[in-house]
Amino acid sequence: MTTSVALGAPTVGQEELDAIREVFESGWLSGAGPSCLAFEREFAAVVGVDNVLSTSNCGSALHLAQLALGVKPGDEVIVGDYTFPATGHSVLWSGATPVFVDVRPDTWSIDTALIEAAITPRTVGIIAVDPFGQPADYDEINAIARKHGLWVIEDAACATGATYKGRPVGSLADMTAYSFHGRKGITSGEGGALASADAERIAHARKLHTYGIAPAISREGAADLPVPSFDELGYNYRLSDVQAAIMRVQLKRLPDLLAARDRIAASYAAHLGDLEEVQLPTALADRTHPWQSYVVTVAPELDRGSVAMALRAAGVGCNFGTYASHLQPLYGPQPDLPVSADIFARHIAIPMHANLTEDDVAFVADHLRKIVTDPAHRR
What are 93-152's pLDDT values in tens digits? 999 999 999 999 999 999 999 999 999 999 999 999 999 999 999 999 999 999 999 999
User: How confident is the prediction for the chain on average, in pLDDT?
Assistant: 97
Q: Where in the chain is the domain with CATH 3.40.640.10?
A: 14-250
Portions of the chain given CATH number 3.90.1150.10: 254-377
Enter the DSSP assignment of 376: G
pLDDT digits (tens, 9 = 90+) for 22-56: 999 999 999 999 999 999 999 999 999 999 999 99
Answering whether pTM is above 0.85, one says yes
Q: What are phi and psi of 127, to 5 degrees?
A: -105, 110
Superfamily of domain 254-377: Aspartate Aminotransferase, domain 1 (3.90.1150.10)
CA dist 117 → 99, 111, 173 (Å):
11, 11, 21
Query: For the segment 57-94, what is each residue's pLDDT rounded down to a tens digit?
Result: 999 999 999 999 999 999 999 999 999 999 999 999 99
Identify which of 35, 282, 246, 26 has the alpha carbon closest to the alpha carbon of residue 135: 282
pLDDT tens digits for range 291-348? 999 999 999 999 999 999 999 999 999 999 999 999 999 999 999 999 999 999 999 9
CATH number of 14-250: 3.40.640.10
**260-303: pLDDT as tens digits:** 999 999 999 999 999 999 999 999 999 999 999 999 999 999 99
Residue 120 to residues 24, 88, 174, 334, Cα–Cα distance (Å): 51, 18, 20, 16
Q: What is the pLDDT confidence band of residue 2, given thresholds at 50, 70 and 90?
A: low
